[in-house]
Amino acid sequence: MEIQKVGVIGAGQMGNGIAHVMALAGYDVVLNDVSQQALDAALSLIHKNMARQASKGKISEDDVQAALARIVPSLTLADVGATDLVIEAATERETVKQAIFEDLQPHLKPHTILTSNTSSISITRLASRTDRPERFMGFHFMNPVPVMQLVELIRGIATDEPTFKACQDVVARLGKTSASAEDFPAFIVNRILMPMINEAVYTLYEGVGSVKSIDESMKLGANHPMGPLELADFIGLDTCLAIMNVLHDGLADTKYRPCPLLTKYVEAGWLGRKTQRGFYDYR
């Protein structure tokens, strides 16, 4: 089945990036959020990021205008039901995601493929609450979406082959590379990345190094583009903590215990760049 129209639920950090790359690849996009303010902010950020790509000669001004015209903002899930592929990119909380899929159900066309951009939650469990577990899978982009090459594709226990293939084809049309992951907590990227970030927070917590020395060590000593604490601020400390909790609960191993300092920052509302304060102060 050919995918032509894509519904993206959630216009935040990941959702606006997903709408951006889908529209540039020629898909018609319905970008849905519960907040008009979030939709306005997303559309202006997409415009700004596309303009940046155009100013570097990666795309033309005509590409930008055509892509922007393909994105239709929406405040109602009924609009999303009339698409061929849904990518849910709402908050990383299972109850929120389940409620969205339940509310979406009555509006869906029979053939619509449902996916979640979850970075760690069980695809099999999310799928089991829908009427189409065989046409449900994980479609996990990396941040910043327009720049990062990888998309993790995660099969739930019931995902069928045509669904997987259709999503693989979409990733190829985006000019990105897919990696197939089985449905275990946090899949591949976050299974490896988050314990490293958590260990960097322990390194700070135990006084082994300062924020600056930890980040510089990993940038200059391991050639990482960002230090782990800078990256944590970029991803969002609440998201990092949520993923560590999924690993800790799902794999029942103390090696995934979230660092108490990470928990404390989240409790303080210091969530990284999005709140202007995390391991760094952006005010």
Distance in Å, CB of 214 to ligand CAA, minimum: 16
Contact of 228 with 221, CB cutoff 8 Å: no
- 10 appears as a binding residue in the annotation: yes
Nearer to ligand CAA, 53 or 275 (CB): 53
CA nearest 154: which of 132, 177, 124? Answer: 124
The residue annotated as part of the active site, out of 49, 74, 117, 190, is: 190
- 199 appears as a binding residue in the annotation: no
Nearer to ligand CAA, 107 or 274 (CB): 274
- 14 appears as a binding residue in the annotation: yes
- 11 appears as a binding residue in the annotation: yes
Is 55 in the active site?
no
CA nearest 277: which of 244, 269, 260? Answer: 269
Rg (alpha carbons) of the chain, rounded to whole number: 19
- 36 appears as a binding residue in the annotation: no
Is 223 in the active site?
no
Q: In a 10 Å sphere around its CB, with 0-12 CB exposed, 13-18 middle and 19+ buried, how is residue 44 labelled?
A: exposed
Looking at this protein, which amino acid is placed at residue 28?
D
Residue 57 falls in which region: left (phi positive, over 0), alpha (psi -120 to 50) or beta: left
- The CA-to-CA distance between both ends of the chain, in Å, stands at 48
CA 258 to chain centre: 21
- C-alpha torsion 174→115→225→245, nearest 10: 180
Nearer to ligand CAA, 179 or 189 (CB): 189
The residue annotated as part of the active site, out of 49, 119, 122, 178, is: 119
The residue annotated as part of the active site, out of 120, 152, 178, 198, is: 152
Nearer to ligand CAA, 82 or 192 (CB): 192
Contact footprint for ligand CAA (CB under 6 A): 49, 52-53, 56, 119, 142-144, 146-148, 189-190, 193, 225-226, 231, 235, 239
Is 16 in the active site?
no
Is 206 in the active site?
no
The residue annotated as part of the active site, out of 20, 140, 178, 230, is: 140
Feature table: binding site: 10-15, 33, 92, 97, 119, 143, 274
The binding site for NAD(+) comprises 10-15, 33, 92, 97, 119, 143, 274
Active-site amino acid positions: 119, 140, 152, 190
